[in-house]
Amino acid sequence: MIEHKVTRPMAMLLQDPSIRDADGDHLHEDWPFPLDTDYLLGTGSSKFVVRDVDHLDNPVFDSADWSDPGLTLTYDEFNKAPAERPLLENAQFHQVNAFAVAGHTLRAFEEALGREIQWRHGGPLVIRPHAFEGANAYYDGMSPSLNFGYFRSPIRSATVWTCLSHDIVAHELGHAVFDSFRPLFLYSAELDAAALHESLGDLLALFSALEHPAVVERIFAESGGDMRRPTLISGLAEEFGIGLRGSGSAYLRSALEGPPYDQADKEPHARSTVWTAAVYDILVELVAAVLEADCPDPGGRRDLESFKQAVVTATRRLRRMTLRALSYVPPTGVTMPVLARMVYEADQRLFPNDALSRDIAQRVFERRALWDEALVFTSPGIGLDFQDWDTLGVGARAALVAQHADALRIPAGPGVRLLTPQLTTAVRDADAARSGVETGAVTERYLHYAYELIVQQEVWGENGPELVGVSLFNGGTLVLDDGWNDVLLVTDPPAYSEDLGADSPAQSAFRRAVSRFQQTHRSALETLRAPRTDAPGSAGVRVLHDRPGCPFAVKAVGGGALRFVRRRCDIAEHLRAVGSSPGTLRVTGWRGPVNR
């Protein structure tokens, strides 16, 4: 982590307000905002701006000017406010907390990724800490913004502010990050892409919490160092559930209960637990391995300091290992087995002489039916042809990708639309999970390309059933080393060994992907074939299918083909879906003014 010379401490809670330390205080910390690399102007920076307005942009609470050098934004300063303005009811503390949690979480993601995130609509991202009155929070990609609700608890006779939940802020930020990092996932026909969107939010909340000694101390006190026992880190947003029902259990987001991949629910929120649980299993085993390697204890009992050291080390390594694998995934979609292989491959690239973490990951992935040896990522040997990329114009870059269409498994044929390719570079520090292993830095480049194909689908038209075009986006990532040698080719749809023997490997993989999509979403596709009343949408848009529990809405834009557009969730839908019985989705009550 980069050490900044000039910072401004900003207060943030490390868990929900209902969780306190041994002295009865909230788990808290002051996040050092980096003034040497960013700015504070009003209530904003280059990454985020806090607007204390409702969802219609009408003012709610006043804000201070954070650039005022005489203003102190620390936890202690907020906590010593007069009794008539207690900490949890202080709107300006809410503003600072949401900003600090988002900034802290984003910095950790960027550090693992090896580069900065640019918001898909340009920065900064808007944070509305009091966007509406209701038991919800959501990311709106159209604004774009993070929107947090508040509600009067019928159980506790107190107001629950979702912007004070570290977990909820981090989870919703995860949607914003993934939406900017992989914007075409919005149109992915792959069910796992929607589930991974949810899982990433939960994992960012998990990783963010485990970086803080106060949280690790609480875990040790609750579990005695046994991370397989449920603790505060295996649940998400307990304050939310406590406020509604007096107990967090009904809404508890357990990372320990996810099923194996071959038993995964089709509902994307419930399906997300497959990946979240796998990563948590890796964390548990990695902590045990670090303790065994660096803090041997034949007596079988661990002290707090060795446990804290092991958790922080393992979390840092796991966060980097899982998040940097996202650079390898195609820009249009990915399956969980492909991502599992990329976690392994990315770690092998960075730590060729330290297999501890990836060996643990492989064992967990095999146990959870996420490891598929039949997947093929063989590089085509064309990397050196791209070494003049920076000197080429937009058209010449696209032409270079088109020239290698066969090698990149881009299907040939009329109507294929090649989108503008992108090439990014990342430099990552290589810190080992075990002491005594050499460290350094690795530079990688990623060629991301995408294309659009139209397939035929029967829907209910004005005169009954009719065939219409459906737009599908696919693509790939060519991973190159510092010398422009390609080392991996990862495609969407993924390639299997059987595809390589086909006349057209790309067409073979595409046919299998379409068949998988039709089988997975059979009930939703049947809905399209039934008589319907189109829902109104924005100008030029008809919504043919949009219901909770389905990972996408079907929309017709203008006179073009139909598109399967991933539905963006809110936190209430996520927690309720995960808390429901397997295969069941219960979404009732107020859901918030979410812009679909």
Judge whether 487 lies within some domain: yes
pLDDT of residue 517: 66
- CA 545, CA 531: separation in Å to the nearest integer? 12
pLDDT of residue 585: 26
Judge whether 134 lies within some domain: no
Give strand pairing partners of 423: 447
Judge whether 594 lies within some domain: no
Q: Is 308 left (phi over 0), alpha (psi -120 to 50) or beta?
A: alpha
pLDDT of residue 238: 54
pLDDT of residue 582: 44
- Long-range contacts, 384-388 (Cβ 8 Å, 24+): 384/484, 384/485, 386/423, 386/447, 386/478, 386/480, 386/484, 387/484
Interval 386-405: pLDDT, tens: 999 999 999 999 999 999 99
| pLDDT tens track, the chain, 596 positions | 566 779 999 999 998 887 777 778 899 999 999 999 999 999 999 999 999 999 889 999 999 999 999 999 999 999 987 676 789 999 999 999 999 999 999 999 998 888 899 998 888 999 999 999 998 899 998 888 999 999 987 766 788 899 999 989 999 999 999 999 998 888 887 889 989 988 998 888 888 888 888 888 888 887 788 887 766 666 555 555 554 444 444 334 455 678 999 998 888 888 888 999 999 999 999 999 988 887 666 555 568 888 888 998 899 999 999 999 999 999 999 999 999 999 999 999 888 889 999 999 999 999 999 999 999 999 999 999 999 999 999 999 999 999 999 999 998 877 889 999 999 999 877 654 444 445 567 899 999 999 998 877 666 556 666 676 777 889 999 999 999 999 999 999 999 887 776 777 777 777 776 676 666 655 555 555 555 555 555 444 455 555 554 555 665 555 566 666 655 567 777 766 666 534 322 222 223 333 32
Residue showing tokens 């791209």 = 386
- Cα–Cα distances (Å) from 361 to 72, 274, 345, 376, 454, in that order, read 44, 14, 11, 19, 37
Domain that holds residue 488: 375-579
Judge whether 535 lies within some domain: yes
| Contact by Cβ (8 Å): 362, 352 | no
- CA 90, CA 86: separation in Å to the nearest integer? 6
Helix, strand, coil percent values for the chain (each to nearest 5): 40, 20, 40
Judge whether 356 lies within some domain: no
Amino acid at 51: R
- CA 217, CA 341: separation in Å to the nearest integer? 33
Element (H, E) at 175: helix 166-181
- Number of folded domains in the chain? 1
3-state DSSP assignment of residue 133: strand
- CA 347, CA 26: separation in Å to the nearest integer? 36
| Contact by Cβ (8 Å): 423, 327 | no
Interval 278-308: pLDDT, tens: 999 999 999 999 888 876 665 555 688 888 8
pLDDT of residue 534: 52
